[in-house]
Amino acid sequence: MQSSPWKVRCATLCFTLLSITGVKLRPLGEQEKMIQLEAVKKSILDRLGLHRPPVIREKMDKDEMRKIYWLYQEKLMELRGNISMEETPKRRVHILTPKLERSTKKCGIPGNSHRYNLIFSRTQTIHQQLSVMRAELKLCKDVLAALKSAAANSTSKAMVNIYKVTESIHGNGEQEYKLLDSKSIDKDILALNMTLNVDTAVQQWIASSEKCLRLELVIILNIPFVSDGRKQMRADDALVLEVETQEQAHSKTRRARSLSVDEDCKKSEKKCCRKSLLVSFEQIGWSDWIVHPSTYEMRFCDGSCPHNYKPASMHAQIKYRMHHINGETPAPCCVPGSYDPMVLMHYNSERKLVFTVFDDMIVKKCHCA
């Protein structure tokens, strides 16, 4: 279908008027970028107390530049160190009680021994991204008292050994025993507790996908042993496994990085999320007075805040309900929730090279408030 002469004349007239008035035909996205860049420039100048960019006629020599550059790097490292300390998770102590069974199976462990199978199961808080700082099998005082009493009547040296039990690599159904720790029962000194080091076995277990950790407790005595003279040793009152863990640093970094990426707006995303714009100080004509960094990733929060979506607080949820009821209360807005710091190395109004820390310049997370 051909356009009518009237439509053609109308379109030509509109284009001519736009050309005469000097209006540039650019996509809306480009216009938004220009507005954002101007906002960035104005905000940086205001924060630095400048009305306009300083005019730099003479720059520092290479030696002076090198010295202040090292100071700049030290400041960056200090900031990163502070962030790492904030993100380092606290250590946690896990208390595990084993399923305990008296073992009658013969093995190659020497001595007249009383043997117990210890089976520990994973809990919800134990996962593969944990580093074991300490793992100790603790024998409680009641059991030790019974052990010391038995050791006093024993003619041979009384010992407590702990072994890790694994299936034989030969696949013949046999089990292999690796000695983890060994302690003698001193009949002359009354100890309130005894700890056996099982760090290696516990670390290997946590790093693996195995559901259970199998250990063997061997008490070497040449006389019968019971915990209180009436009943056999029980796990709940005899021993516990105490494991102190800390989340691995690289997994924490990886998780933080993943969470940060999740903040970015997906395609056609309309809910509250994080948008980015790369600002090149060279392209905006500021490379003569801003030395480092050469670019800055400006991030901002945008999008709608429907009910219970990324609420910053209970106040934000109440605010949404109030807005929904009467419309007089403003709805929650998509705003920054946290920031990453940035160090700007630049010339000041006195044309001296300095660096300024911006604690709230790079948006890390968005939420509704």
Claim to verify: residue 50 and residue 98 sit in the same structural domain: no
Q: Tell me the C-alpha distance between 145 and 143, whole Å.
A: 5
Confidence at residue 9, expressed as pLDDT on a 0 to 100 scale = 46
Q: Tell me the C-alpha distance between 226 and 223, whole Å.
A: 10
Claim to verify: residue 128 and residue 211 sit in the same structural domain: yes
185, 220, 248 - which closes a domain: 248
Three-state DSSP at 339 gives: strand
**How much of the chain is helix, strand and coil, in % rounded to 5?**
30, 35, 35
Could you tell me if residue 359 is inside a domain?
yes
Three-state DSSP at 259 gives: helix
Confidence at residue 172, expressed as pLDDT on a 0 to 100 scale = 63
Please name the amino acid found at residue 56.
I
Claim to verify: residue 114 and residue 229 sit in the same structural domain: yes
Q: What is the extent of the structural domain holding 228?
A: 92-248
- Whether 151 and 191 have beta carbons less than 8 Å apart is answered as no
pTM over 0.85: no
**Tens-binned pLDDT, residue by residue, of the chain (369 aa):** 444 444 444 444 333 433 333 434 344 467 877 888 888 889 899 989 888 998 887 777 777 777 777 787 777 777 766 655 555 566 788 888 888 887 766 555 555 677 888 999 988 888 888 888 889 998 876 677 777 777 666 666 778 889 998 877 666 667 788 899 988 876 554 455 678 999 989 989 998 888 899 999 888 776 555 544 334 555 555 788 889 888 766 555 555 554 555 678 888 888 999 988 888 888 888 988 998 888 888 888 999 998 888 898 888 888 888 888 887 889 899 999 988 888 898 988 888 888 898 888 889 899 999
Claim to verify: residue 105 and residue 243 sit in the same structural domain: yes
Please name the amino acid found at residue 319.
K
Claim to verify: residue 78 and residue 185 sit in the same structural domain: no
Encoding tokens for residue 358?
Answer: 């911006």
248, 275, 297 - which closes a domain: 248
Claim to verify: residue 338 and residue 218 sit in the same structural domain: no
CATH of the domain at 81: 2.10.90.10
Could you tell me if residue 309 is inside a domain?
yes
Could you tell me if residue 81 is inside a domain?
yes
Could you tell me if residue 304 is inside a domain?
yes
Claim to verify: residue 244 and residue 338 sit in the same structural domain: no
Claim to verify: residue 31 and residue 96 sit in the same structural domain: no
- Whether 41 and 309 have beta carbons less than 8 Å apart is answered as no
First to last CA, the chain: 53
Claim to verify: residue 144 and residue 58 sit in the same structural domain: no
Could you tell me if residue 5 is inside a domain?
no
Confidence at residue 108, expressed as pLDDT on a 0 to 100 scale = 54
Q: From residue 298, give the alpha-carbon distance in Å to each of 49, 291, 295.
A: 20, 18, 9
Claim to verify: residue 353 and residue 320 sit in the same structural domain: yes
248, 283, 310 - which closes a domain: 248
Q: Cα angle at 326 between 325 and 332, to 5 degrees?
A: 75
Confidence at residue 24, expressed as pLDDT on a 0 to 100 scale = 42
Please name the amino acid found at residue 204.
Q
Q: Tell me the C-alpha distance between 117 and 105, whole Å.
A: 10
How many structural domains is the chain composed of?
2
20: part of which helix (H) or strand (E)?
helix 5-21
Could you tell me if residue 105 is inside a domain?
yes
Q: Tell me the C-alpha distance between 330 and 324, whole Å.
A: 9
Q: Tell me the C-alpha distance between 201 and 179, whole Å.
A: 10
Encoding tokens for residue 109?
Answer: 């462990």
Tokens 């292999």 appear where? Answer: 176
What are residue 184's DSSP bridge partners? 159
Please name the amino acid found at residue 317.
Q
Confidence at residue 10, expressed as pLDDT on a 0 to 100 scale = 43
Could you tell me if residue 83 is inside a domain?
yes
Could you tell me if residue 8 is inside a domain?
no
Claim to verify: residue 105 and residue 57 sit in the same structural domain: no
Three-state DSSP at 275 gives: strand
Q: 20 — phi, psi (to 5°)?
A: -65, -40
Q: Tell me the C-alpha distance between 274 and 301, whole Å.
A: 5
Q: Tell me the C-alpha distance between 162 and 156, whole Å.
A: 19
Claim to verify: residue 145 and residue 217 sit in the same structural domain: yes
Q: Tell me the C-alpha distance between 266 and 276, whole Å.
A: 12
